[in-house]
Amino acid sequence: MKIIDLLTQDRPTLSFEVFPPKTSDTYDSVAKATQEIAALRPDFMSVTYGAGGGTSDYTVNIAAGISQTYGVDVLAHLTCVSSTREHVAKVLDQLKEKGIQNVLALRGDIPEGGAPAHDYQYAAQLVKDIQAHGDFCIGGACYPEGHPESPTKNADIDHLKAKVEAGCQFLTTQMFFDNNIL
């Protein structure tokens, strides 16, 4: 099921996030954790794209395993800051081949000591490419307190608007820190 269809139902939704392993020798522990989480019957499980030092190489396989083995809908993260358009197209082909229809399009963190790839500067560019690549439900990130790299909140809202105009169907945020801002 597409995440947008879950979110438009008149009931709360519950999701959990899974982080790929940092090394191949810890893959089994992640597989065990996904089994335990899936047993809780969440509406969907989100699989990150190598956050916290993990590797994006496992995202598609973990997401496919959750979906095929446990019947839980998945949201696969995809970052673009250090990716080429060719790499993104390859990952989207893999997701499509595995029947994964939900993608969280993220710019991602600029690698420490590195520079972004030349193909993507903003998540809106990734959203546009995902939209053109097939029938994916596309999510994006938003920042209630403003993106930490944004010079102003208006500039942040302009970037958010660009994501939605490019095809982003829902937005998600990490925990906000000052609920008086909302």
CA distance 158 to 27: 39
- Evaluate if residue 61 carries a pLDDT over 60: yes
| Span 34-56, average pLDDT | 83
For residue 82, which phi and psi values (nearest 5 degrees)?
-120, 25
Lowest-pLDDT choice from 28-32, 64-68, 84-88: 28-32
CB 169 within 8 A of CB 138: yes
pLDDT above 70 covers a percentage of the chain that reads 90
Confidence of residue 85 (pLDDT cuts 50, 70, 90): very high
160 contacts: CB under 8 Å, gap ≥ 6: 140, 142, 171
Structurally, at CATH architecture level, domain 3-172 sits in: Alpha-Beta Barrel (3.20)
CA–CA distance, 156 with 161 (Å, rounded to integer): 9
Per-residue model confidence (pLDDT) at position 161 = 96
- Segment 52-75 mean pLDDT: 86
In the predicted model, is pLDDT for residue 181 greater than 70?
Answer: no
Mapped onto helix, strand or coil, the DSSP state of residue 158 is helix
With a cut of 90, say whether residue 136 has pLDDT above it: yes
At 47, give phi and psi (nearest 5°).
Answer: -120, 115
H, E, C per residue of 63-105:
HHHHHHHHCCEEEEEEECCCCCHHHHHHHHHHHHHCCCCEEEE
Active site residue 17: yes
| pLDDT at res. 173 | 86
Element (H, E) at 4: helix 3-7
Tell me if residue 123 falls in helix, strand or coil.
Answer: helix
Whose structure tokens read 């969440």?
Answer: 42
Rounded distance, CA 12 to CA 6, Å?
9
